[in-house]
């Protein structure tokens, strides 16, 4: 089972499309929020086109969204998938996953997820890639597809291996190459 992980698309059809190309071999997708709009503190991303992005999103079946600080209630009227808040919970086999935007009390939420025996915790919000192991729980921020604050438009991919281990990889959307993110 392969899971494509993305966040902070902020209405960029171009970078959402690139993300879907890189993640095309995935069985499902987790989006950690800030889907359609850029918010007042961000510049407009390349090919800002929320209307056509909605059409592309609605053509995807296995995608789960967590609500970000730039997502609005009206988004749920056009996107055919629930945008869950404050987080989305999903279980794949023995693996328990939480997708959360991460704009509220991140450290407190990490502690709570650890107590819930979560295996995979996904954040967005900072637009900076992150990969760490906290008490056996894998924490991933895929960075931003459209407005990276670390210089690289990116996504992550998690594969649940036959031995139940998680194989995590990050990808540069401009080159489609795998990139190293320190743990």
* Whole-number pLDDT of residue 174: 97
CATH class, 2-179 region: alpha beta
What's the pLDDT tens digit per position in 110-119? Answer: 999 999 999 9
Q: What is the mean pLDDT of residues 52-59?
A: 98
Does position 46 have pLDDT exceeding 90, yes or no?
Answer: no
Percentage of the chain modeled with pLDDT above 90: 87
Q: What is the mean pLDDT of residues 119-139?
A: 96
Does position 155 have pLDDT exceeding 80, yes or no?
Answer: yes
Q: What is the mean pLDDT of residues 12-40?
A: 96
Does position 152 have pLDDT exceeding 90, yes or no?
Answer: yes
Q: CA-based Rg of the chain, rounded to a whole angstrom?
A: 15
Report the mean per-residue pLDDT for the chain: 95
The SS3 call for residue 128 is coil
Q: Can you tell me which residue has the tokens 């407005």?
A: 147
* Whole-number pLDDT of residue 1: 95
Q: What is the mean pLDDT of residues 92-104?
A: 93
Q: Could you tell me the pLDDT band of residue 29, with boundaries at 50, 70 and 90?
A: very high
* Whole-number pLDDT of residue 39: 84
* Whole-number pLDDT of residue 149: 96
* Whole-number pLDDT of residue 98: 97
Does position 104 have pLDDT exceeding 90, yes or no?
Answer: no
């Amino acid at each position: 089972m392969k899971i494509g992980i993305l966040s902070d698309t902020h209405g960029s059809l171009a970078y959402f499309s690139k993300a879907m190309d890189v993640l095309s071999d995935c069985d499902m997708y987790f989006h950690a929020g800030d889907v359609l709009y850029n918010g007042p503190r961000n510049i407009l991303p390349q090919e800002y086109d929320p209307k056509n992005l909605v059409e592309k999103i609605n053509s995807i079946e296995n995608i789960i969204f967590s609500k970000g600080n730039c997502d609005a209630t009206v988004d749920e009227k056009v996107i055919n998938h629930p945008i869950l808040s404050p987080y989305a919970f999903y279980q794949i086999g023995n693996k328990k996953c939480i997708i959360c935007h991460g704009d509220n009390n991140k450290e407190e939420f990490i502690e709570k997820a650890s107590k819930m025996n979560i295996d995979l915790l996904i954040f967005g919000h900072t637009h900076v890639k992150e990969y760490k192991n906290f008490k056996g729980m894998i924490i991933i921020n895929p960075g931003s597809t459209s407005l990276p604050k670390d210089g690289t438009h990116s996504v992550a991919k998690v594969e649940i291996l036959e031995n139940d281990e998680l194989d995590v990889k990050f990808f540069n959307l401009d080159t489609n190459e795998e990139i190293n993110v320190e743990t």
